[in-house]
Structure 1
């Protein structure tokens, strides 16, 4: 037992041992229901150049990695494989003393590379279990209402906040062709996207004109 602990806490295995401890703790939280196995967290979507939406997430392992497999699972495999290789190398080939540091450094670099390649092979069969999820694009926002976040909106200035179908909030650039009153906090309708200018055209929103909520409409 003492030899096992010495190898696991010695260089270079200790690097992966520390990472493995984090991974084990994470999956224990998943088992207890305190974390999400897919790593979904709170997301904020912001539209950048060319109107593509970028998701900034707060949470463990949000997103996809290595062919669509959740990052939490792929990273766990990477750490597990790396720990096994580094542990075996520490026992079999890393000498003690000053020479062990140099050999350990080489083993650590090699372990990272081998573990990366092994992880890519291991996640390939899992890809079909996790369908590709495409993030929101500029077309998803056209036709949605938004909340103006600047003091004014004109032909050259304006920002608004819009919520995508998945509930994530996005801050977008907006412009208008007229002189309608669009002040901070007012509601607008994104009716088109300007590709060269990378902004949305917005107009004042009147719920009475919405066929879903207006006279004769069917709310909800």
Structure 2
């Protein structure tokens, strides 16, 4: 027993022994619920547009109160609207909760899972490899050349073992890409305003998860009849029917600068 303690407290095993105690205490607290989830995400709250009674959660869900439209697109925060109590966050780009692939652990090929799991595996494997190497070298604190070799071997074995162990875990902790307004391109929508022009228009579009969003939509000037002229009239420039409330339209493009969609009639004949 004394030989085991000497080895555990000897160099290089002692470098990992104290770290292993910290790791064990941490996971004990996690199991007891003292630290909650080891990978808790941020849940920021942001005001949601002028006149809109709602709030935006950092996890990508918009909860609206009332029926006021939220014109978030003009501010680059997405064009989400609480429809029927629940909306869909259609923000373009990252929502602030994205975890990039960078970082020290990712730089050495150990990214893709929470750092707490990776470091715990790394420390535990390094301690075990260092202990085994020290025992093979005679126990206690080996001579300096042997101790350096044991340390290098323990670090290499810990890295390799951790890398192999986290491969299946990456599938579990893989995060979905953030929702983007461009995901709506190619979908149909229902017009919710009296008209759709080059500078005005809103439509309701349904996402894959069944939630809906009110987005800003526009039509090209060449698709609109001159004022007072019927659609498709000779001498007019319109080649497609008008889009009014309740009409179905096809989203065919997205304008990143104006944060709106270009639409055209769908399932209608001129």
Query: Taking structure 2 as the reference length, what is the TM-score of the superposition?
Result: 0.40
Query: Taking structure 1 as the reference length, what is the TM-score of the superposition?
Result: 0.48
Q: Which of the pair is proportionally richer in strand? A: 1
Which entry has the higher C-alpha Rg, 1 or 2? 2
